[in-house]
Amino acid sequence: MRVTILDDYQGVVPRLAATKELEGIPVSLQTFAERFVDEDGLIAALQDTDCLVLIRERTQITARVIESLPRLKLIVQTGRLSGCIDLEASKRRRVEVRDGGGNPIAPTELTWALILAASRRLLPYAAHLSQGQWQRSREHIEDEQLGRAMHGRTLGVWSLGKIGARVAAIGRAFGMRVAVHGREQSREAAAGAGYEFIADRSEFLAQLDVLTLHLRLGPDTRHMIDADDLACMRPDALLVNTSRAELLAPGALLDALARGRPGAAALDVFEDEPDGAAPYLNHPAILCTPHLGFVDQDTYEAYFREAFAHVRRFVTGEQATSGQGTAPS
């Protein structure tokens, strides 16, 4: 049985300890580090694939892809199922789909890495230091700005779910005032944790030094944050998005930064990755990272341990104890 891993950008999956899950069963593992830029190339490369393991939603598995792979029997999604797999086509082709669990730790820590790096201007200081310039973060001294500490400032958490709650707790540990916005579940979670809940969106945004987004992407949240919302933010505020790029209306952030509200942004997610990152990469007010929220050793081990366990159970006929998705009926 041929098991194929797509989009293993760092080429690390074959070296994970999680591959021990595949020992003793008749499978061969192949990985592709480079992203397929067209669907025809993807289909051609997967003709001998029996099981496809996806790293999150890096590649869209459309109905055409599924229907063009004669040997495909199983698709495993690392993390929770998302919209990147055509489940109806999977059912028609009797291709089983399985998924795994999430991990809030790595994205929480990356969120705070971005907050601190952007607030203290770490990357421009480091870049200028490598050029022999001591304590400089701008080319021209008249443009210099000092970084800001977090203690005593206001952290806004939009949606207090598993990740948002961890981000908020760290903010409290820094001595920040934590304000929460979101739906009723976030209101209840904020009350239970002792955070301030601000129901009015404009009032919430106007009070923040740092806004961090942790909403789930769905039809009701797609493009829900527009230029009018961002205009409510302070000119020295920082917007951080490690959740989904599509929460922001197209062009809204760049327009808002051009108008000076907010003053800066830190982004780990982009629409149409990786090409969609291009407009943001050289903006002086934006810190960009290449969607690293879940990319760390422990998360990969957990994701692939569960994914390869699904493969093992499929090959051996064992009953699955976790995961969800579709199965032939």
With respect to residue 328, please indicate whether it lies within any of the assigned structural domains. no
- What is the pTM (predicted TM-score) of this model? 0.92
Question: At residue 54, what is the residue type?
Answer: L
SS3 call for 19: helix
Q: Across the chain, what does the average pLDDT equal?
A: 95
What whole-number distance in Å separates Cα of residue 122 and Cα of residue 135?
10
What whole-number distance in Å separates Cα of residue 56 and Cα of residue 6?
10
Give which of 189, 187, 188, 183 is closest to 165, Cα–Cα.
189
What whole-number distance in Å separates Cα of residue 227 and Cα of residue 252?
5
With respect to residue 329, please indicate whether it lies within any of the assigned structural domains. no
Which run of H or of E encompasses 311? helix 297-316
**What's the CATH code of the domain at 312?**
3.40.50.720
pLDDT at 328: 42
Give which of 120, 215, 112 is closest to 171, Cα–Cα.
112
Based on the fold, state whether residues 259 and 178 are members of the same structural domain.
yes
Structural domain range at position 304: 2-102+297-316
Total domains in the fold of the chain: 2
What whole-number distance in Å separates Cα of residue 312 and Cα of residue 71?
17
Per-residue pLDDT of the chain (329 residues; tens, 9 = 90+): 999 999 999 999 999 999 999 999 999 999 999 999 999 999 999 999 999 999 999 999 999 999 999 999 999 999 998 889 999 999 999 999 999 988 999 999 999 999 999 999 999 999 989 999 999 988 888 888 899 999 999 999 999 999 999 999 999 999 999 999 999 999 999 999 999 999 999 999 999 999 999 999 999 999 999 999 999 999 999 999 999 999 999 999 999 999 999 999 999 999 999 999 999 999 999 999 999 999 999 999 999 999 999 999 999 998 655 444 444 43
Contact between residue 246 and residue 272 where contact means Cβ atoms under 8 Å apart: no
With respect to residue 44, please indicate whether it lies within any of the assigned structural domains. yes
Contact between residue 97 and residue 325 where contact means Cβ atoms under 8 Å apart: yes
Based on the fold, state whether residues 276 and 150 are members of the same structural domain.
yes
pLDDT at 115: 99
